[in-house]
Amino acid sequence: MPPGKKLDPRPISGDTSVCDLVDNLFLAYNAARLREACRLFTQKIVQPDVTIGVTLSGALTPTGLGYAALVPLIRAGLIDWVVSTGANLYHDIHRSLGFELFGTTPFTDDVALRDQQLIRIYDILFDQDVLFKSDDFLYECMRGPDFQRTMGTAELHYMLGRYTQAREQTLGTEYVSILTAAYEAGVPLYTSSPGDSTIGMNVAALQLWGNQLRFDVERDVNETTAIVYDAMQSDGKTAVIIFGGGSPKNFMLQTEPQIQEIMKLEEQGHDYFIQFTDARPDTGGLSGATPGEAVTWGKIDPEQLPDSVVCYCDSTIALPIFAAYALANVQPRPLKRLYDQRDTLLERLSQTYAEARAKRLGHIEGSSG
């Protein structure tokens, strides 16, 4: 008899749930990889001692998946920290401000849309004025006295979340943005390339007006590294859940090379790795970031390769299924509120690094003497 589990699907009915589909009908190919990712998450990753990081790239929030899938996961304590493109956070505030986005066909006349002052994101449409008014909102927020200093992106997004929460409450809308949910749950939101988004463009324009807001990208690197290092040193584990790829993926994964290669602190790599992507390693789209390659960089603990899953699937398909399965199968976890601990974690990492450097330099001097 061949090794493995017998494939024995049952007929789909009108009562078939998402969990039934995943467990009993996602049997092979990337459907099976999605099942493995869902089970890995619900059976191992959601344990209390695991710190869960999520990356977001691609236009996920214009589809509404921020509110529909990510916000419930944040509120259930199933996401502890996030690295996102700035675009996902920017486009997520449109609905917070009361604006509407519409579904359309991707096969349309873009010149005609331009004449009508309509913006298209593949098969999503919204009025150009939505951008202008969202920019006005950001301008007014970031011109405030609390923003007149240099800060990391987690702090910037936390402060903006206070304003999106207030606007959502004032409008009486049911919609909750990722910024708002993260602000309420103490989940730090980082942007790996802060200048590469409309939020960053607004910060740059305001600088020309004399605004004092600046990005502290070095703090972002050190804060994210401190989050991962503290989790490991506290006898915990870390998991990375990657939706898409790009800069957010690398920024989250580079925390381990930062610890091992740059700071020369002893570490083994992330314990759990799940990625949903439509990129391919042979064309360079996944270069250095498949689980096997990531092991060579120190990003993934080599002993944990069995707990690594890559599902070649559109994130807009995988994310709602993944979220529904998780929320149906696990209880909410207590919030870690890592945002509130940033200064403490950073100071702890700084002290450890200083001690390690002093010890290493003393060893070098002793050897040369």
The residues annotated as belonging to the active site are: 299
**Segment (H or E) for 366:** helix 342-368
CA 342 to CA 355: how far, in whole Å?
Answer: 20
Q: Which residue type is seen at 93? A: I
**Segment (H or E) for 308:** strand 308-312
The alpha helices in 85-177, defined as continuous H runs, are 86-96, 110-115, 128-142, 153-171
Report how far Cα 135 is from the mean position of its chain's Cα atoms.
23
Among 255, 80, 260, 99, residue whose Cα is nearest residue 181: 80
Among 192, 201, 189, residue whose Cα is nearest residue 160: 189
Distance of CA 168 to CAs 93, 175, 208, Å?
10, 7, 30
Four-residue CA torsion sign, 293, 306, 311, 316: negative
Residue 159 buriedness (CB in 10 A; 0-12 / 13-18 / 19+): middle
Look-up of token digits 């409309």: 198
Cβ contact 291:259 at 8 Å:
no
CA 152 to CA 158: how far, in whole Å?
Answer: 10
